[in-house]
Amino acid sequence: MKKYLFWFFVGMGIVLFAYWAGGQVAWQKCNAQIQESGVVHQRIITEQIGRVNEKTFNTGVRDIRRVLCEKYTIAE
């Protein structure tokens, strides 16, 4: 009888370990999916900002300095 009881508890331990391991895998997949959706949303926001401020995104620092120098001179 002790032998059967021992194997019963060993079997239950294996089942509980498998259940716990499956939960961990599901938790990691869920976190990866949440992070991926965050990256997608950030990319969409960046693209929208780029479309709204296309002139600013495509203008270099030298061009901005040139425009400022043309508009605002020392004579003014």
- Degrees, nearest 5: CA angle 49-52-54: 95
Cα four-point dihedral sign 66, 48, 35, 32: negative
Lookup: tokens for 39: 């990256």
The yes-or-no verdict on residue 54 having pLDDT over 90 is no
d(CA 7, CA 25): 27
The yes-or-no verdict on residue 28 having pLDDT over 80 is yes
- Kindly give, in sequence order, each residue whose CB lies less than 8 Å from that of residue 50, ignoring residues fewer than 6 positions away: 57
Residue 13: pLDDT band with limits 50, 70, 90:
very high
